[in-house]
Chains A and B, each alone.
Chain A
Amino acid sequence: MSTEIDTARAAALLDEAPLKDATLFRFATAGSVDDGKSTLVGRLLHDSKAILADQLDAVARTSADRGFGGSAGGIDLALLTDGLRAEREQGITIDVAYRYFATDRRSFILADCPGHVQYTKNTVTGASTADAVVVLIDARKGVLEQTRRHLSVLQLLRVAHVIVAVNKIDLVDFSESVFREIEADVQKVGRELGLGSDGIADLLVVPVSALDGDNVVERSERTPWYTGPALLEVLETLPAADELESHLESFRFPVQLVVRPQGALAPDAIAGGLDVEKYRDYRAYAGQITEGSVKVGDEVSVLTPGQAPRTTTVTGIDFAGAELTEAVAPQSVAIRLADEFDVARGDTIAAAGTVRESSADLYAALCWLSPKPLREGAKVLVKHGTRTVQALVRSVSGKLDLATFNLEGASSLELNDIGHAQLRLAAPLPLENYLHHRRTGAFLVIDPLDGNTLAAGLVKDHPGDHEDERYSI
């Protein structure tokens, strides 16, 4: 009834700089049904003290009702991530669930992806925004076909960091040889896929026991042969994807809308002393920087589909009354340009000279996420950046066997297939290779009839262009 105060925790969190300056890190989990993923997630939340007393009480009651007698004080940690009633009744997980916890270094957003038959759909969804993905392996089973599938999807989605947690290490008596064998298998699969080899993605392997907490938050004394960091330490120190991309790629800014208030200035801004004369003819382009950074005075290209890129200069970067000199991804800002071009939603502002002409021919890898299969000749919608256009599926040229990484002949794609297709767009788009641009190289395929999302699309280079071998699926 009264709010209980844990002053030690409050002090740790709020003691000046750490919380104020904490950065955000997004990660996802992927695993097979029985490899203890829910327990691992529950353990991370529990040991990082993200679970509050009333949630813990509810879980303890349920654990007792079900006669759970494990460790952690008789609490079934997997129940902490139990979601909807339908899931509890059926003992399954339906959908990606998002969890939040913080340490004094970082705030974490965890996309908890269920690992049953819909694993591709869920893993693609969780991984699309993740800085890192934790893949679970049962130490008693080692690398399974499912593991290869997961790693394959993560490689395709170009997740910056892949961490393989070898779980249930307690059930193999904390055996170093078992761990080393699995580690070697994982690295072998990684090499086959090209993970960890190009300086972007890396692949780490950590022995853990989610049930007992070994190497989850604290390093375990029961694995003296493992000298690396615990899982949470890894997550606290890896660079985020924005950080890695900021010096690999140039500035990209899809225009969301034009801010042009004309007479309709905000009354609260006027009351706060806004210079009404100065803003009478205000015109700026609002959006979120997807990659890189921009400074006032930078030369930029404006890409309007169907037109040659136009070059101009950034004269201002505004954010809610503050005039910035520089902005970085993923900031939402409003940009003013020197020339009075006709710029609209759907256009992209990019660092000058770094983008090629828009194209109406789209070559892509498609992760098919709908029960409605893809057929050649289908009419769909493509949403890319801030623009949606009609498209015709000209051909499906194969689908990937995720276990062997081989391309099989196919003329259609079913739910959870990943394949290669060519589309013809009704209007050209500023397409970029997903390998180099995780935002402007991504698109959605949408069903024009009911509006549902059919596929996640990854732009590939046109045949004949320089093409990365890993993408020639």
Chain B
Amino acid sequence: MSTFLTEEPTLVNDAAVSTRLSSLDTLESEAIHIIREVVAEFEKPALLFSGGKDSVVMLHLATKAFWPGKVPFPVLHVDTGHNFPEVIDFRDRTVERLGLKLVVGSVQEFIDRGELAERADGTRNPLQTVPLLDAIQSNKFDAVFGGGRRDEDKARAKERILSLRDEFGQWDPRNQRPELWNLYNGRHTVGQHVRAFPISNWTELDVWRYIERENIELPGLYYAHDREVFARDGMWRAVGEVSQPRPDEEVITKTVRYRTVGDMSCTGAVESAAATVRDVVIEVAASTITERGATRADDRISEAAMEDRKKDGYF
């Protein structure tokens, strides 16, 4: 499946004068430096882990940062209750393999207790904020690693690698600390916490090339498979318990894959024959649609959708 697996960094003769790291090795080193800084400077970090490719890459980087020791922090998953079963299974296997502690914040439990209300459109992604903040507060996490990347979105393009959040988990884009050199300032007061984004500078293609190079396992739905789908909002939706076609929506079987694996109620598949990681790397390199635009209904609500959710404490 993987065409090459490199353990040794790739040294590149960029100019006659000296040897330089490849772009991917530079990004990997930067991410590991950030992960180690956060672990050294914070009391109780945790890593947001959904089983999605960015969080899987984050966890892989953490294993490399502390090798041969264990990853020294727990992973946190906000379960919408509408996750793909194979992704939950992947999550559990990964946690078991690495000997990690898993903390789960459950959207369903909040709905059952009447502390959250189901939205009219059935989408649960925006509902993750409350259980996320609850898990951060009740576990006293002072730093939370996320797999957010600046190339994903206009709001993320302006967010710091260490992003301070107030007592309500809110991000204030107008009042961010300048981030200078590789000196990260993670100081915070009681009640505040910091979101850390070590792969801020990676693009979607970097992530996929890294997955290929490092031979990283992902949930199977990232690769082409046959699935019963129906068209809605200009994307293919899987037929499932929480994602039922309306009478006028025809169900057909298509060869599809997912570019993101969020909540089933709002994550769409793309038609694709990319069955291996190499196929996906080529497809991503050639794609003319960004991943969020192609597959996330919730980001289409308004141009400022992500900005609004981040201000409210979203990832």
The 0/1 profile, CB within 8 Å of A marked 1, for residues 215-239 of chain B is 0000000000000000100111000
Q: A451's closest neighbor in chain B, by CB?
A: B187
Q: Which of B176-212 contact A (CB under 8 A)?
A: 176-183, 185, 187-189, 200-201, 203, 205-206, 209
CB-based contact B14/A86 at 8 Å: no
Contacts of B235 in A (CB 8 A): 1
Contacts of A122 in B (CB 8 A): 178
Contact A332 to B33, CB < 8 A, known contacts A1-B271, A125-B180, A444-B180: yes
Contacts of A23 in B (CB 8 A): 12, 14, 20-23, 26
**Cβ of B231 to closest chain A Cβ, rounded Å:** 7
CB-based contact A451/B188 at 8 Å: yes
Q: Is B140 in contact with chain A by the CB < 8 A criterion?
A: no
The 0/1 profile, CB within 8 Å of B marked 1, for residues 231-247 of chain A is 00000000110110011
CB-based contact A446/B187 at 8 Å: yes
Q: Is A306 in contact with chain B by the CB < 8 A criterion?
A: no
CB-based contact A53/B20 at 8 Å: no
Contacts of B40 in A (CB 8 A): 256-257, 345, 386
Which range contains the number of A residues in contact with the other chain?
Answer: 35 or more
Q: Is A277 in contact with chain B by the CB < 8 A criterion?
A: no
Contacts of A453 in B (CB 8 A): 177-178, 180, 185
CB-based contact B157/A54 at 8 Å: no
A446 CA to B77 CA in the complex, in Å? 33
Question: What is the interface of chain B mostly: helix, strand, loop, or mixed?
Answer: mixed
Contacts of B260 in A (CB 8 A): none
Q: Is B17 in contact with chain A by the CB < 8 A criterion?
A: yes
Q: Is A286 in contact with chain B by the CB < 8 A criterion?
A: yes
Q: Is B290 in contact with chain A by the CB < 8 A criterion?
A: yes
The 0/1 profile, CB within 8 Å of A marked 1, for residues 234-277 of chain B is 11100000000000000000000000000000000011100000
CB-based contact B9/A331 at 8 Å: yes
The segment from A187-195, A208-216, A263-271 that touches chain B is A263-271
The segment from B48-56, B103-111, B119-127, B278-286 that touches chain A is B278-286
Contacts of B154 in A (CB 8 A): 82-84, 97
CB-based contact B270/A2 at 8 Å: yes
Q: A449's closest neighbor in chain B, by CB?
A: B189
Contacts of B7 in A (CB 8 A): 320-322
Contact of A9 among B70, B189, B285 (CB under 8 A): B285
Q: Is B312 in contact with chain A by the CB < 8 A criterion?
A: no
Q: A331's closest neighbor in chain B, by CB?
A: B29
CB-based contact B290/A321 at 8 Å: no
Q: B272's closest neighbor in chain A, by CB?
A: A3
**Cβ of A436 to closest chain B Cβ, rounded Å:** 15
CB-based contact B272/A266 at 8 Å: no
CB-based contact A13/B285 at 8 Å: yes
Q: Is A307 in contact with chain B by the CB < 8 A criterion?
A: no
Q: Which of A114-141 contact B (CB under 8 A)?
A: 121-122, 124-125, 128-129
Contact of B173 among A84, A247, A267, A269 (CB under 8 A): A84
Contact A10 to B286, CB < 8 A, known contacts A265-B68, A268-B98: yes
Q: Is B139 in contact with chain A by the CB < 8 A criterion?
A: no
Contacts of A58 in B (CB 8 A): 303
CB-based contact B201/A52 at 8 Å: no
Q: How many residues of B contact A (CB 8 A)?
A: 87
**Cβ of B304 to closest chain A Cβ, rounded Å:** 4
Contact of B158 among A3, A95, A439 (CB under 8 A): A95
Q: Which of A253-281 contact B (CB under 8 A)?
A: 256-257, 259-261, 264-269, 271, 274, 279
CB-based contact A21/B289 at 8 Å: no
**Cβ of A171 to closest chain B Cβ, rounded Å:** 29
Contact of A267 among B15, B97, B303 (CB under 8 A): B97
Q: Is B174 in contact with chain A by the CB < 8 A criterion?
A: yes
Q: Which of A195-254 contact B (CB under 8 A)?
A: 239-240, 242-243, 246-247
A106 CA to B12 CA in the complex, in Å? 11
Q: Is B167 in contact with chain A by the CB < 8 A criterion?
A: no
CB-based contact B67/A444 at 8 Å: no
Q: Is B76 in contact with chain A by the CB < 8 A criterion?
A: no
Contacts of B155 in A (CB 8 A): 83-84
CB-based contact A265/B181 at 8 Å: no
Q: Is A98 in contact with chain B by the CB < 8 A criterion?
A: yes
CB-based contact B286/A442 at 8 Å: no
Contact A100 to B8, CB < 8 A, known contacts A22-B23, A58-B303: no
Contacts of B285 in A (CB 8 A): 9-10, 13-14, 19
Sorted from nearest, which 6 A-B pairs have the closest CB atoms? A451-B187, A261-B69, A10-B286, A320-B64, A54-B293, A2-B271
23 of the cross-chain contacts (CB-CB < 8 Å) are: A2-B271, A3-B287, A4-B287, A10-B286, A19-B209, A21-B10, A21-B22, A24-B26, A85-B303, A85-B307, A95-B173, A97-B158, A98-B201, A102-B203, A128-B181, A257-B36, A265-B70, A268-B63, A288-B32, A288-B33, A290-B182, A320-B67, A384-B183
Chain A positions near chain B (C-beta within 8 angstroms): 1-7, 9-10, 13-14, 19-24, 52-55, 58, 82-86, 94-100, 102, 106-107, 109, 121-122, 124-125, 128-129, 239-240, 242-243, 246-247, 256-257, 259-261, 264-269, 271, 274, 279, 282, 286-288, 290, 318-322, 324, 328, 330-332, 334, 345, 369, 381, 383-384, 386, 438-439, 442-444, 446, 450-453, 456
Besides A257-B40, A288-B33, A439-B181, 13 other A-B contacts (C-beta < 8 A): A2-B270, A4-B288, A10-B285, A52-B293, A54-B290, A55-B290, A83-B157, A84-B158, A86-B173, A109-B201, A128-B180, A442-B183, A443-B183
